[in-house]
Amino acid sequence: MRYALDAIRRRPGRAAMTSLGIGLSVGLVVVLLAISAGIQTSATTLATESGVDLLATSTNVSNVITGALPPIAGAHALAREIPANNSEVVVASPWLLGDLVFGNASLYARSNASDVPSGWALTGAGTVGWIPDDNTGIEVPTLYNGSGFSASGDPHYANGSYTGPATHEIELDQSLAEVLGVSVGGVVWASPVTPPSAAQLPGWYSNATAFRVVGISGPFWLVPSALLAFVYLSEMQALIGGGTPSTDYASLLLIHLTDPSTAATNQLRIEARFPQLNVFTLSDILGSIQHVVTLYQTFGSLIGLIGVVVAALFATTVLQMSVDDRSRELAVLRAVGYSRARVGSFVVEESLLLAAIGLGVGLAVAYVGTYLLNLVLLRLVSGLPSSFSFVSFDATVIATGVALVVVVGLVAAVAPAARAMQLPVAEELRAP
C-alpha cells in the first residue's frame, strides 16, 4: 500500500482526476439504482397500505396501469351483489373517473357583467364520482376542513330510479380550492364541456351544475391529479351523460377483503361469478409497475455501463502512464528480489486505492444528487403521501456501488500490471 500512496502523492492531479472519473461514473449508476429501488419500494408500500386488495375493471382492460378504462355497467348493483355473493368481500366501491370544468362565483359575476378580465378562465380538474360511505377499509383523502358529505348512500340514485334528491355537494382538494378561490360553504359550477370563448361563459354557467363545497381535503395519490374533486356517483353520472338505469356506469371497482392473503382465490371467484369484470390482484398491479421499472432499469443500466467502461479505460490509461513513469524503479525492485507477482500487485493496489477514493466521491455525489432529485420530483408530482420517496439509498444500492468500484479497479489494473511484470529489467537499469 505504501507504493500506491507514494504513486498518488507524486502525481496528485492525475490521481484526483482518475478518482473523480471513477466516482462520477459509479455515482451515476448508484443514482439510477436508487431511483428504481425507491419507486418500486414506495409503490409496494402505498399499494399495500391503500386497503385495495382487488381492482375490478371492464373485461376490455388488459392492463390496469397502461390501459384505458371503459365503463363498467350496473355499478350500483355490483356494489351490492359482489359482497352478497362473496362473504370475504368487505366492500366493492364503484368509482367513476372523469374530467370536469369548474367555475367560481367571481367569474360567474364578471361573465354576467360582460367584464371578464384577461387571464380569467374556467379550471379543469380530475373528478371522482363515488358513494362516500361505501369505502370501508379503503384509504380515502384526508378531510382538512368541513364536515364532508352529509347523506349516506347515494340519494339521487334512489334504488335505480334516479329520481331522488340531488345533494349538489362536492369536496375539493386543497390545490383545486385554492385555484378556484373557494372555501367550505362556497359554490362552484361544474360541467364536462368548455365554452369556446369568454362570450359563451353566461351560457355555460346556465347549463352547468352548481355544487356547494362541503369539504377541503388533502391531495390523493390514488388518483394522480394536481387538482381533484369528489361528488356522489349518481350526480357524476348525470354530469357526464349518464344517470339512468341503462347508464349506471363506473370506471373501477375498488375491493377490500377481510383477509388480503386470499386475494388470488377471490379474484377467480369474482371473475367466475361476474364475467363482465376483469379483476386484478395487488400482485398484478405491482407486476405492471415492476415491468415499467424494469424497462427504466434496463435503460439506466446501459447508460451506467457506458460510464463504467469509460471510467475503466481512463483508469487503465492513467495506470499505464504511472508504470511508464516508474519503470526504472520497478526494475530495481525486480533486481533486488521482488517477484513479478509482487510487482504486479503494487499496480493493482494503486488501482484499487484510486477506485476507493472514487467510491467515496461517487457515494457522496449520488447521495446529494438523489436527495435533491427526490425533492424536485415530490414538488412536481402532487398527491403523494409524506412517506413516499422516489429514491431509496439503501444497503443494496451501496453494495452495488462498492462492487462496481472493485470491478473497475481490478479491470483497470490488468493491462498495467501485466506491463509492470514484463518490464525488461536489464534494459531499464541500463537506460540513462
Domain boundaries, the chain: 2-46+287-430, 72-250
pLDDT at 311: 76
Among 163, 164, 127, 134, which residue's Cα sits nearest to residue 149?
134
Q: What is the pTM of this model?
A: 0.69
Q: 73-77, 186-190, 395-399 — which is least confidently predicted? A: 395-399
Number of Cβ within a 10 Å radius of residue 7: 23
Among 382, 303, 421, 390, which residue's Cα sits nearest to residue 40?
390
d(CA 182, CA 194): 20
**86 CB contacts (<8 Å, ≥6 apart)?**
266, 269, 270, 273
The residue-averaged pLDDT of 262-283 equals 91
pLDDT at 187: 97
Say which amino acid occupies 27: G
pLDDT digit string, tens, across residues 43-57: 777 767 788 899 999
pLDDT at 240: 87
Q: What's the distance, Cα to Cα, between the start and end of the chain in Å?
A: 28
Number of Cβ within a 10 Å radius of residue 407: 14
Are 256 and 49 in contact, with CB atoms under 8 Å apart?
A: no
User: pLDDT above 90 covers what percent of the chain?
Assistant: 39
pLDDT digit string, tens, across residues 148-175: 999 999 999 998 899 999 999 999 999 9
pLDDT digit string, tens, across residues 10-35: 666 777 777 777 777 878 888 877 88
Q: What is the grid cell recorded at 388? A: 413516499
Q: Bigger pLDDT: 253 or 45?
A: 253
d(CA 211, CA 218): 19
Q: Grid coordinates 467510491 are at which residue?
A: 359
pLDDT at 277: 93
Are 132 and 149 in contact, with CB atoms under 8 Å apart?
A: yes
Are 197 and 104 in contact, with CB atoms under 8 Å apart?
A: no
d(CA 277, CA 64): 12
pLDDT at 267: 94
pLDDT at 60: 73
Which DSSP state fits 56? Answer: E
Beta bridge partners of 145: 216
Distances (CA, A) of 277 to 60, 94, 134: 9, 12, 19
Q: What is the grid cell recorded at 300? A: 439506466
Are 262 and 88 in contact, with CB atoms under 8 Å apart?
A: yes
Categorize the per-residue pLDDT at 259 as very low, low, confident or very high, splitting at 50, 70 and 90: very high
Are 354 and 322 in contact, with CB atoms under 8 Å apart?
A: no
Query: H helices within 50-143, ranges in order?
Result: 75-85, 105-112
d(CA 234, CA 230): 12
Which DSSP state fits 141? Answer: P
* Own/partner long-range contacts of 58-61 (Cβ < 8 Å, ≥24 apart): 58/276, 58/277, 58/278, 59/275, 59/276, 59/277, 59/278, 60/278, 61/278
d(CA 239, CA 383): 25
pLDDT at 9: 67
CA–centroid distance for 390 within its chain: 6
Categorize the per-residue pLDDT at 61 as very low, low, confident or very high, splitting at 50, 70 and 90: low
d(CA 302, CA 127): 40
pLDDT at 224: 62
CA–centroid distance for 362 within its chain: 24
pLDDT at 301: 66
